[in-house]
Amino acid sequence: MKNSSNGRTILKKIILSVIFPLLMFTVMLIITASNDKSYVNGKLIFLTTDLIKQVFINSCMTVCVAMAIWLQLKNGRFDFSGGASMILTAIVAGNIGIQTQSPWVALIIAVVLGVILNCFTGFIYIVGKLPIIICTIGMTLLYESLTYLVFGGQGIRIFYSQATTSIFGRMPGVLFPTALAVAAFVIYSYFTSAGRKGKILSNNQRAGVNIGINEKKNVFISYIFTGIIIGLAAIVYVSQNEVKPQSGLATSGILFSYIVPVFMGTFIGLASLDVVGIIIAAIGMEIMNYGLNCLNLGAGGWQQIIMGIFVLAFYAFSAQTDKIEIFLARFQAKR
Amino acid sequence: MFSTGFLKKHVYDLAAYAGLIATFILFLVFSGDKLTYNMTTVIQAGAVYAVIALGAVFVYSMGYMDVSVGQQVGVYAILIILITNRMGGTLAGVIISFLVILAIAMVCGAFNGAVAVWLKLPSIVTSLFLMFFFTGAQLLLMESTGTNSISIQATIKPADRNTYNLVLVAAIVIVTLAVTYFFRFSKLGKYTKGIGANEIATAQSGINTLKWKVVAYMAFGICVAIGTFIMLMRTGSAGKGTGSGYAMDIMICLILGGMPLSGGMKSKVSSALIGTFTYVLLSNDLATMGVSLNMINFVKAVIFIGIIFVTCRKKDNVLPR
Amino acid sequence: MKKVIKKFAAILLAGVMTVSMAACGSSESNKGTGGTGTQTENTTGTGTSDAAENTKSVEGKDCTIGVAFYQDTGLAVDATKAYLESMSDTLKVTFKYTVLTQTDEAANLTKIQELISSGVDGIICTMDLGMTSIIQECEAANVYIGGYLCDYNTSYTSAFDQVFKSKYFVGTASDGQNPDDVTIGTTMFNSLVEYNKRNTEAPITHVSMAVFPVWAFPSQQAGADQFVAAVEEYNKTAETPITVDPLDEETDVLAFSPMNTTYFSKHADTQAIISFAAGSAFVYPTMVQAGVDKDIKLFTTGFDGGEEANFGTAGTGTYQQNMVTAVESINYPLVLLLNKINGVTFSDQPEVAERISSSQIVINSDEDLAKFQKSVYYTKAATDAIYSPEDVLNMTAYANPSATYANLRDMLAALTIDDIK
């Protein structure tokens, strides 16, 4: 009896989790199928192997960045500097990768540098006792300015356009850093005391500190894990994109472009785990993006507007989460 | 002369003023024989930031922020040009186009203020939505024109450089006086600071916080519209990237001026002016000092971090968020 | 509260003072507030066209020229900087650099104002954005301006009087051909035919194209039309005709972002991409991502570094043509600015500033690549430049009284692969 109810719960969780990408797929299929632009020689380009390839490749990038954002956010901190440390890491790792012609060396450098930069951010935050947004804006400006000072301010371009170095930007190589990022996130969240204490601190910071949690240590550890994930995100990013030096908080724009799956993921994750939610949300969003690409709305004004409406609608919906949860609880209680 | 109590209490203000004075001294020293020309450029670049930052004081004093300013400025500039040109570049066209964007800006303000409350969203989300929306609108508007840059067919800038500079200073003065009045001597400022300090307490003392949020955002909208017009006076043209970066620039200006991002009672109108001119003077200083292009951003970042270390440091036993 | 009001009053007062000083200043600026070398028309009291023709060479003045690039980095930017720096002593010019945005007029105006603030006597500008206000600024500050790697098409077609007729605008050297003078389509076609001649067993018979939007680069669209026309003409007599996919508005027009992978779904049979847009940056990476770089050839403009590994017969052999404008083309605005700053002019100087097409370095074989790798563009070594600092000094009217404008124009036509030392 218990087993069957367990099984049902799991099934329900799975269904609730995958419903978003499935819904997205269906919607995009209908839209693309009814639009002439999506047909080439009578063939619907939405339904090609490209779909799976592109959705997975892009989802991996999204998942890595989203994990990094969420790890800090779930601890109650919005880290503005994630994008800047990712770009700086990507430039350094990419250049060293080109010099050594080894994507593996680049990967290691990326993770190490990601950890160093993020720990430095955490250090400044702890020592400076600055409000997190102001502190991370300052760090963003600093890391961005360093992109002009490393490797002659050249950024890195040829890393991603060389087949030998860009293995982590394509299938199946891209799965490796992504899996590591997910693993780092899971280890932090569920298998370290820092992760659990972080939860207490995010719920009630003062009470957490008062019961003896060392908040500074907690922050520092969270930044080590964020650093690992940022480093992994950087290696995927530099394997897929030209990375130019950035200024004027432009990197926050790069960060923002991956933020939607974070919020959606945490909501979808209510049905299971946040990490699952983020992965599912990323896949769903990338299905949407691919569909928009097939309609040639992939770049430009309409994509932005659709994205905006999406953000608002999703937020409006998730803001009512409490009510939904209460409703679900009542529903279950009745049964 | 200064008691330690005074120093402690005013350390943020002093740091902000010191920043402005330092950049101004450097400005005087390094401008050389270009001093007068440089002053005009500082006024030209500063006027836009100053007017928008002054309006932003209302929003920031509530502890909120608006990330859509830049894209709003871009779209409004394009709309002014399109409407004015459609009306044959007449004065009536300029006035009507300005009224149109003023109305849109106020509607957006109301949207930011009200929708966030109705949908129980943090106000940054509605401004995030507006940012996406206006980014898209800006791209679509420019695509519809089929060019990279469109120019206004009316003369909106005084031909004489001195008159132009006077107009800019007058605009800064008028907006400053207006904002100061509303922020210090009317209910608007009192309530927005109250919302920033403690929204629940403010609401419980019988104040309709929704109404005042909407009014504050609308006031900001008016300043954005005026700021857009001043920006348009500079170049007479607009494109896909017009206004980009303004939201962040305004935030940096206010932080440099000592505005607490959490809002509340320490919010000051002077933050907007001090911060704006520190920021603009700093850019000018770095150029006249011949700091190499690659180093400029680094120097700016270090200065920014230095200032926030003094102005934003908290003395709580928990880490500030 | 009194204190605060006092503070405000102080700030306002400072503002008013600033303006009054500005008011005094601007009238003075007409008397020549420029740096050491800006003794030009206003001080001499003669306009450019009236400037005395000099008969003996004179020493040039020390001066500062600002260069406003279109991006921070890249092979062209670095090579240009290296080339300019190598000439600094001979020409007695200090160069200052800034970077403009590609989409924001007001930001560009601020950048130019900062250059002027820092005391430049002349500016070389690579972007045509917010140009009318920039020219006004130059007029107010008595600073001359010229163009490089830019055809100034927006200004040319919509603000000719304000920009080209301004006596502060000296003219521009375009990045390749002007829109009314296009040869790029023919060049692409020739490279394709040369490839087919070398590869008779497996000639390319099906190609597709890529361009930037016509509103930004009208010459690319014209180039594409020219290419199609050349192929059609060729097909009339060819044994193996070439198919060209017509330009697809949606996938083939790149909005300054990398090509979309759906390009390869839409052009499933293409054997080569003819990219009039910057192919190394916007097309090739997408080819690598999609895994088609071994099967599809690329004929493109631009060379960003790294192409040599897969050029011609090397590596995957993806690149079969690259094409760049020589950095030495900057000599055109540079010489004209130096003349202005030194108060001299060519005897055959046209009344109104011009935009001149620049010849291009076309690399479409292994031999060409080897040659190109010895150019200043690639090596960033000024000794590899086609024109030495002394050559450039000799192009100016003050150092060489017999120098002419016609010679300067000819210089732009002699910057091809064959001209590399």
CB contact A253 to B (< 8 Å):
no
In chain C, the N- to C-terminal Cα span, in Å, equals 74
Nearest CA in chain A to C294: A163
Residues C204 and C307 in one domain: yes
> Rounded to a whole number, what is the distance in Å from the CA of B49 to chain A's nearest CA?
15
C103, C111, C132, C137, best to mutate vs chain B, most B CBs in 10 Å: C103
Q: Which of C301, C325, C349 delimits the end of a domain?
A: C325
Asked whether residue C289 is domain-assigned, the answer is: yes
List chain B residues with CB under 8 Å of A209: 317-318
Check CB contact under 8 Å for B133 and A309. yes
Which of the four pLDDT bands, split at 50, 70 and 90, describes residue A1? very low
Residues C217 and C314 in one domain: yes
Q: Residue C73: what pLDDT?
A: 74
Residues C174 and C224 in one domain: no
CB contact B295 to A (< 8 Å):
yes
Residue at token pair 């209680």:
A333
A77, A121, A130, A213, best to mutate vs chain B, most B CBs in 10 Å: A130
Q: What CA–CA distance (Å, rounded) separates A149 from C318?
A: 33
Q: Using an 8 Å Cβ cutoff, are B130 and B108 in contact?
A: yes
Asked whether residue B304 is domain-assigned, the answer is: no
User: pLDDT tens track of chain C, all 421 residues?
Assistant: 444 444 444 443 344 333 333 333 333 333 333 333 333 333 333 334 444 445 677 888 899 999 999 887 778 898 999 999 999 999 999 999 988 888 889 989 999 999 999 889 999 999 998 899 999 999 999 999 999 999 998 899 889 999 999 999 999 999 988 888 889 999 999 999 999 999 999 999 999 999 988 877 888 899 999 999 999 999 999 888 999 999 887 788 887 778 887 788 888 899 999 999 877 888 988 888 788 888 999 999 988 888 888 999 998 999 999 999 999 999 999 999 999 999 999 999 999 999 999 999 999 999 999 999 999 999 988 889 999 999 999 999 999 999 999 999 999 999 999 999 8
Assign 3-state DSSP to chain A and report helix, strand, coil percentages, each to 5.
80, 0, 20
Q: Could you tell me the residue range of the domain that residue C84 belongs to?
A: 43-178+326-359+386-416
CB contact A315 to B (< 8 Å):
yes
In chain B, the N- to C-terminal Cα span, in Å, equals 36
Residues C160 and C225 in one domain: no
Q: Which of C275, C302, C325 delimits the end of a domain?
A: C325
Q: What is the DSSP secondary structure assignment for residue C245, as one 8-state letter?
A: P
Q: Give me C355's structure tokens.
A: 């935009």
Q: Give me C409's structure tokens.
A: 């124009």
CB half-sphere exposure, B247, CA atoms < 13 A? 24
Q: What CA–CA distance (Å, rounded) separates A135 from B321?
A: 10
Q: Residue C199: what pLDDT?
A: 92
List chain A residues with CB under 8 Å of B295: 148-149
The answer to whether the Cα torsion of C194, C200, C205, C210 is positive or negative is negative
Assign 3-state DSSP to chain C and report helix, strand, coil percentages, each to 5.
45, 15, 40
Q: What CA–CA distance (Å, rounded) separates C381 from C79?
A: 8
CB burial of residue B114 (10 Å; 0-12, 13-18, 19+): middle
List chain C residues with CB under 8 Å of B180: 8
Q: What CA–CA distance (Å, rounded) separates A277 from C267?
A: 36
Q: Residue A285: what pLDDT?
A: 84
Q: What is the DSSP secondary structure assignment for residue C171, as one 8-state letter?
A: E
Q: Give me B108's structure tokens.
A: 């957006």
Nearest CA in chain C to A162: C288
Q: What CA–CA distance (Å, rounded) separates C421 from C17?
A: 59
Q: Count of CB contacts below 8 A, A vs B?
A: 147
List chain C residues with CB under 8 Å of B176: 8, 12
pLDDT digits (tens, 9 = 90+) for B102-137: 999 999 999 888 888 888 777 777 887 888 889 889
CB burial of residue A1 (10 Å; 0-12, 13-18, 19+): exposed
> Rounded to a whole number, what is the distance in Å from the CA of C310 to chain A's nearest CA?
9
Residues C317 and C279 in one domain: yes
pLDDT digits (tens, 9 = 90+) for B239-256: 888 988 788 789 889 988
Q: How many other CB atoms are there within 10 angstroms of residue C371's CB atom?
A: 18
Q: Residue C26: what pLDDT?
A: 36
CB contact B24 to A (< 8 Å):
no
CB contact C262 to A (< 8 Å):
yes
Q: What CA–CA distance (Å, rounded) separates C403 from C397?
A: 6
Q: What CA–CA distance (Å, rounded) separates A120 from C99?
A: 30
CATH number at residue C59: 3.40.50.2300
Facing C117 at nearest CB: one of B166, B244, B288: B288
Residues C54 and C164 in one domain: yes
Q: What CA–CA distance (Å, rounded) separates B15 from A176?
A: 49
Check CB contact under 8 Å for C19 and B165. yes
Q: What CA–CA distance (Å, rounded) separates B242 from C153?
A: 20
C104, C109, C163, best to mutate vs chain B, most B CBs in 10 Å: C104
Asked whether residue B99 is domain-assigned, the answer is: yes
List chain A residues with CB under 8 Å of B309: 128, 130
Q: Residue A256: what pLDDT?
A: 75
Which of the four pLDDT bands, split at 50, 70 and 90, describes residue A321? low
Q: Using an 8 Å Cβ cutoff, are C274 and C227 in contact?
A: yes
How many Å is the maximal CA-CA distance in chain B?
64
The domain segmentation of chain A, as residue ranges, is 1-47+262-335, 54-257
Residues C145 and C188 in one domain: no
> Rounded to a whole number, what is the distance in Å from the CA of C283 to chain B's nearest CA?
22
Residues C334 and C305 in one domain: no
Share of chain A above pLDDT 70, in %: 88
State how many domains chain B has.
1
> Rounded to a whole number, what is the distance in Å from the CA of B78 to chain C's nearest CA?
12
Q: Give me B169's structure tokens.
A: 């200073």
List chain A residues with CB under 8 Å of B320: 129-132
For chain B, what is the HEC assignment? CCCHHHHHHCHHHHHHHHHHHHHHHHHHHHHHHHHHHHHHHHHHHHHHHHHHHHHHHHHHHCCCCCCCHHHHHHHHHHHHHHHHHHCCCCHHHHHHHHHHHHHHHHHHHHHHHHHHHHCCCCHHHHHHHHHHHHHHHHHHHHHHHCCCEEECCCCCCCCCHHHHHHHHHHHHHHHHHHHHHHHHHCHHHHHHHHHHHHHHHHHHCCCCHHHHHHHHHHHHHHHHHHHHHHHHHHHCEEECCCCCCHHHHHHHHHHHCCCCCCCCCCCCHHHHHHHHHHHHHHHHHHHHCCCCHHHHHHHHHHHHHHHHHHHCCCCCCCCCC
Q: Residue B125: what pLDDT?
A: 74
Q: What CA–CA distance (Å, rounded) separates C169 from C135?
A: 7
Q: Residue B96: what pLDDT?
A: 96
Nearest CA in chain A to B68: A308
CB burial of residue C313 (10 Å; 0-12, 13-18, 19+): exposed
Q: Edge-to-edge strand order for the sheet containing C319-325? A: C243-244, C206-210, C272-278, C297-301, C319-325, C360-363
Residues C73 and C207 in one domain: no
Which of the four pLDDT bands, split at 50, 70 and 90, describes residue B12? confident
Average pLDDT over residues A107-136: 92
Facing B288 at nearest CB: one of C118, C129, C214: C118
Task: List the chains bordering chain B where 3 or more Cβ pairs fall under 8 Å.
Answer: A, C
- The amino acid occupying position C369 is L
The model's pTM is 0.83
List chain A residues with CB under 8 Å of B299: 145
Q: Using an 8 Å Cβ cutoff, are B36 and C25 in contact?
A: yes
Of A320, A326, A197, A185, the closest CA to residue A262 belongs to A185
Of C311, C359, C367, C290, the closest CA to residue C331 belongs to C359
Q: Using an 8 Å Cβ cutoff, are B281 and B24 in contact?
A: yes
Report the residue count for chain C: 421
Q: What CA–CA distance (Å, rounded) separates C38 from C139?
A: 12
CB contact C71 to A (< 8 Å):
yes
Q: What CA–CA distance (Å, rounded) separates A255 from B149?
A: 28
Check CB contact under 8 Å for C106 and B270. no
Residue at token pair 């994109």:
A241
Helix, strand or coil for residue C343?
coil
Q: What does the mean pLDDT of chain B come to?
A: 88
Facing B301 at nearest CB: one of A76, A145, A308: A145
Q: How many other CB atoms are there within 10 angstroms of residue A317's CB atom?
A: 13
Residues C264 and C149 in one domain: no
CA B240 from chain center: how many Å? Answer: 20
More confident of the two residues A188 and C9: A188
DSSP letter string over A174-191?
THHHHHHHHHHHHHHHHH
Nearest CA in chain B to C115: B287
Question: What backbone torsions phi and psi does residue A150 show, to the nearest 5 degrees?
Answer: -95, 145
Residues C129 and C47 in one domain: yes
List chain B residues with CB under 8 Å of A248: 245, 248-249
- Has residue B311 got a pLDDT over 80? no
Asked whether residue B277 is domain-assigned, the answer is: no
Check CB contact under 8 Å for C288 and A296. no
Parallel, antiparallel or unpaired: strands A39-40 and A43-44: antiparallel
For A84-128, what is the HEC assignment? HHHHHHHHHHHHHHHHHCCHHHHHHHHHHHHHHHHHHHHHHHHHH
Asked whether residue B243 is domain-assigned, the answer is: yes
Q: Using an 8 Å Cβ cutoff, are C126 and C100 in contact?
A: yes
> Rounded to a whole number, what is the distance in Å from the CA of A274 to chain C's nearest CA?
30
List chain B residues with CB under 8 Å of C29: 36-37
Q: Using an 8 Å Cβ cutoff, are C328 and C391 in contact?
A: no
Helix, strand or coil for residue C31?
coil
More confident of the two residues C134 and A159: C134
C-alpha angle A78-B267-C110 in degrees, rounded to nearest 5: 75
Nearest CA in chain A to B134: A305
Q: What CA–CA distance (Å, rounded) separates C370 from C384?
A: 13
Q: Where are the alpha helices (DSSP H) in C164-261?
A: 184-198, 218-235
Q: What CA–CA distance (Å, rounded) separates A14 from B272?
A: 52
Q: What is the DSSP secondary structure assignment for residue C69, as one 8-state letter?
A: E
State how many domains chain C has.
2
Q: What CA–CA distance (Å, rounded) separates A24 from A4?
A: 30
Check CB contact under 8 Å for C215 and B148. yes
Facing A293 at nearest CB: one of C71, C262, C304: C262
Q: Give me A145's structure tokens.
A: 């300015």
Facing C99 at nearest CB: one of B48, B241, B293: B293
Asked whether residue B291 is domain-assigned, the answer is: no
Q: Residue B141: what pLDDT?
A: 92
Residues C301 and C188 in one domain: yes
Q: Could you tell me the residue range of the domain that residue B245 belongs to?
A: 47-269
pLDDT digits (tens, 9 = 90+) for B34-71: 899 999 999 999 999 999 999 999 999 998 888 889 99
Q: Using an 8 Å Cβ cutoff, are C176 and C184 in contact?
A: yes
